[in-house]
Structure 1
Amino acid sequence: MQLTPEILPDRDAIGTAVADGILHRMAAKGDMPFLLGCPSGRTAVPVYDALARHAAAGADLSRLVIVMMDDYVTKDDEGVFRIVDPAAPYSCLGFAQRDILAPIAAAAEQAGTTPPAQIWTADPADPEAYDARIAAAGGIDLFLLASGDSDGHVAFNQPGTPRDAKTHIVELGEATRRDNMNTFPDFTDLAMVPRHGVTVGVDTIAGQSAEVVMMLCGDHKQDAYRRLTAATEYDPAWPATIVTECRQPTFLADRAAAAVRV
């Protein structure tokens, strides 16, 4: 399906709108856990910040489960892939602990509500077990998506990713690795960026999410905006187009990404 984007003023407006929607959906689920598919990096930060503000105001986020979409992996001395040390500044698990969960939990504690505590991440030793775990929990309630600037990667799914891809180990292309130098400023040289990652597949996103929201923020996302507004189905050359085949997709862009003049 071809998506019609909603244009909001800026990334903070997108973050507020998405966070408000998460609270509404959580309330509708009652006492059930709410699985939120999360990227690390710049795009979704305003969503996480807005959720922390809601927690500070007394909203109950105790049932929130943070389901990370990917992480960097390296080989150990035995040649086995392991996720990078969460203490590393570029660790996606570390990002979830420090930048997603911790501010929400701290705000909840100050407000006197029960803080959320769960972060899920894929085990590179058994990637497809992640799909099974998500399925056993009833699927992702809402998956937050973003598109790579220059190659359209979504999570760590690279150009050429087949439509039926589940959670898997992937060799990261140079374009993705360069994009992620902006995501994690501690990468000051391309050689510092790991060459492999573990990622949910495009089929994991489309097949296991009740809803998704694609967010594009900033003028550096204008090519991604053009690609996604033109897409009618999944195009392996630009994996973020999987949003067109998801149930209940929403497409939000700010004015800079959509090249809209005020």
Structure 2
Amino acid sequence: MLPDADAVGAEVAATILDRLAAADGRPFLLGCPSGRTPMPVYRALARHAARGVDLSRLVIVMMDDYVEADGLRRVDPGLSYSCLGFAQREIVAPLGQPLEIWAPDPAEPSRYDEAIEAAGGIDLFLLATGAGDGHIAFNQPGTPRDARTHVTPLGEATRRDNMGTFPEFTDLEMVPTRGVTVGIDTIAASSREVIMIVSGSHKHDALMRIKAADVYEPDWPATIVVECKNPTLIVDRFALEGIE
């Protein structure tokens, strides 16, 4: 347990640097969520970059993105809620180093899994859980264990969670209703190591579900972390409030 989200971010960033240093000069695939939970990690990485740490071998592998109503196109990266745009603005730009960004194409979702596998898998996948429904990336409750990258309708709980991330969503009707996402099996089968980040008192129920799980529970997709290789659960004290 760490004191707050910033301490979590510093700890996770230090782990990323350790793994990157051990990668023998090759590209290092870092699976990245967008949103509030990982922001302290990205800010900590930017502080390291400002001190001259070379992060240029990182390949930013985004988990998901909103798609247009036809389900075949990602939303415009210029929109604040675009996950590809998030990667460009909130992860890569602050580092001031040329990093490659990958994002799933809703027109050909299976190509994403193929590219990840061809690269040897994701070295380290950062994960976060939805507070209201346990979604991970855009995998919704009920997503089968063997799901790979796919386009999916977004449930109301996921969309309400994301209203807190993007203040311009002042009404639920403004939140896109479809997304493209890595699948449950993409996360479990294609990553060498995962870190599940849980911070904030609003996540304590989600943390309880994850801590109680022994296997993947489809009604709470974030429980896939217990079936991943080399999993680490890292939390702050606020997420632990009310948990024995």
**What band does the TM-score fall into relative to the shorter chain?**
over 0.9
2:44 matched to 1:50? yes
Cα deviations by residue, 1:188-217 (Å, 9 ceiling, x for unpaired): 110000000000001000000000000011
Write the distance in 2 (CA, Å) between the matches of 1:153 and 1:61. 29
2:175 to 175, 193, 196: 193
Write the distance in 2 (CA, Å) between the matches of 1:19 and 1:170. 31
Write the distance in 2 (CA, Å) between the matches of 1:187 and 1:148. 17
Q: Report the residue type matching 1:67 in the other structure.
A: V
1:86 to 57, 77, 85: 77
Stretches of 4+ moved more than 6 A in 1? none
If the length of structure 2 is used for normalisation, what is the TM-score? 0.98
Q: CA deviation at 1:80?
A: 5.5
Contact 2:71 2:151 in 1 (8 A): no
Q: What residue in structure 1 maps to residue 161 of structure 2? A: 179
Cα deviations by residue, 1:72-106 (Å, 9 ceiling, x for unpaired): 0013xxx462000000111111110000100012x
Contact 1:90 1:186 in 2 (8 A): no
Sequence identity percentage = 65
Q: CA deviation at 1:260?
A: 6.8
1:118 to 100, 103, 106: 100
Q: What residue in structure 2 maps to residue 112 of structure 1? A: none
2:138 to 143, 156, 159: 156
2:224 matched to 1:238? no
If the length of structure 1 is used for normalisation, what is the TM-score? 0.91
1:20 to 14, 24, 29: 14
Alignment size in residue pairs: 243
Q: What residue in structure 2 maps to residue 108 of structure 1? A: none
Gap runs ≥5 in structure 1: 1-6, 106-114
1:170 to 140, 152, 157: 152
Q: Report the residue type matching 1:19 in the other structure.
A: A
Q: Report the residue type matching 1:180 in the other structure.
A: N
Q: Report the residue type matching 2:95 in the other structure.
A: I
2:210 matched to 1:219? no
Write the distance in 2 (CA, Å) between the matches of 1:224 and 1:117. 32
Contact 2:71 2:179 in 1 (8 A): no
Q: CA deviation at 1:249?
A: 0.1
Q: What residue in structure 1 maps to residue 230 of structure 2? A: 248
Write the distance in 1 (CA, Å) between the matches of 2:121 and 2:107. 22
1:59 to 53, 61, 65: 53
Q: Report the residue type matching 1:216 in the other structure.
A: V
Gap runs ≥5 in structure 2: none
2:29 to 35, 43, 64: 35
